[in-house]
Structure 1
Amino acid sequence: MTEHPLSQFTYCPKCGSPRFGIHNGKSKQCPDCGFVYYFNPSSATVAFIVNERHELLVCRRAKDPAKGTLDLPGGFVDMYETAEQGVAREVLEETGMTVTQAQYLFSLPNLYLYSGFTVHTLDMFFRCQVKDTLHFQAMDDAADTFFVPFEKLQPEEFGLASIREGLKKFLKEFV
């Protein structure tokens, strides 16, 4: 059996009891105060941005995990933000591009190692229209940003599993 996702949490976040234990496959419960914590995936977004020449915008990761590999713009959705707002914010932060429309396509579950902790995510993929595909720059988590023709895209060059699978699905079903 694999380690429970909440195994790193040993104390009840409500009362501080050290008896915070496994309740079922996705939750822990405190026998002292009765608090039950359900472990649910974090929301994340991914953007497919296509220019007039039928090329896809890709980024090179500036940070771990998978530093130096290819990626697509995107990231975690902030609290009080819709997925559409989250993907637009992430695209702006990573490329300087302004999203004018975000069309939801599909989602994939993912495991993302962050600060030595495995974060379970639900990655939501969007086809994004941007105000201008000619002016962009690598910023934030992106070391480089550039367009690649569809026929030259190699999913194995993308470092994150859900991005590789999402790219394959996009190329097969939406291009």
Structure 2
Amino acid sequence: METFNHPLRLFQFCPKCGSGHFIENNKQSKRCEACGFVLYFNPKGAVVGIITNEKGDILVCRRAKEPAKGMLDLPGGFMDSFETAEEAVAREIKEETGLSVTNAQYLFSLPNTYLYSGFEVHTIDLFFLCQVTSLQLLVPQDDVESCQFMPKEQIHPENFGLASIQKGIKILLNRQII
């Protein structure tokens, strides 16, 4: 494990007993020599919702906060504990757009890193095609500055601020999933 590049380098003390003898165990974990506790660094779950209107245009949002403030995005966010991915995408879409999801169909996943509070969070981003009750309820909220439906031919991956969303947009457009 390359400690200087790996997020576990920031963890100098055992979170269980506080010992400073917290050493590299393998490329995914650190182990406490004092109490034996092993901390694994696994990705955090995140969800992305793809919503289209009757013309096939895609709902895009403009980010109100860093990272990538002011750039385009798709609605979504981190999963909470004890929440399914489908529940998470419905909750995130409701929080960010006011829309209520009636169906979420899993499409694909992508690994990602997301800088949050100066810490690089490793994520696994799950993309869902979502149906909603009524597009009339669309209101940007939470960490969304604005949202609009954009025709597919006007969507360019480089206009999206996060790497996994850029890759996801390319997959969606190239595979003609939407």
Is TM-score (shorter-chain normalized) higher than 0.5? yes
1:125 to 2:141 alignment: no
CA drift of 1:133 comes to 1.8
1:159 to 2:161 alignment: yes
RMSD (CA atoms)? 0.8
Which TM-score applies when normalising by structure 1?
Answer: 0.98
- Aligned-partner Cα distance in 2 for 1:32–1:109: 33
1:148 to 2:139 alignment: no
Spell out, residue by residue over 1:120-174, the C-alpha distance to the aligned partner (whole angstroms, 9 max, x if none): 0000000000001233011001000110001111111000000000011011220
- Aligned-partner Cα distance in 1 for 2:153–2:6: 41
**In the alignment, which residue of structure 1 is the partner of 2:110?**
108
- Aligned-partner Cα distance in 2 for 1:6–1:35: 14
1:80 is matched with which residue: 79, 82, 95? Answer: 82
SS state at 1:6 partner: helix
**In the alignment, which residue of structure 2 is the partner of 1:45?**
47
- Aligned-partner Cα distance in 2 for 1:47–1:24: 34
SS state at 1:86 partner: helix
**In the alignment, which residue of structure 1 is the partner of 2:62?**
60
**In the alignment, which residue of structure 1 is the partner of 2:14?**
12
SS state at 1:170 partner: helix
SS state at 1:88 partner: helix
Q: Give unpaired runs (5+ residues) of structure 2.
A: none
- Aligned-partner Cα distance in 2 for 1:24–1:41: 16
Number of residue pairs aligned between Structure 1 and Structure 2: 175
CA drift of 1:99 comes to 0.2
Spell out, residue by residue over 1:46-105, the C-alpha distance to the aligned partner (whole angstroms, 9 max, x if none): 000011011000000000000000000000000010000000000000000000000000
- Aligned-partner Cα distance in 2 for 1:168–1:137: 26
- Aligned-partner Cα distance in 2 for 1:21–1:46: 35
Q: Please identify runs of 4+ aligned residues in structure 1 that moved more than 4 A.
A: none
- Aligned-partner Cα distance in 1 for 2:47–2:143: 14
SS state at 1:105 partner: strand
Q: Give unpaired runs (5+ residues) of structure 1.
A: none
Which TM-score applies when normalising by structure 2?
Answer: 0.96
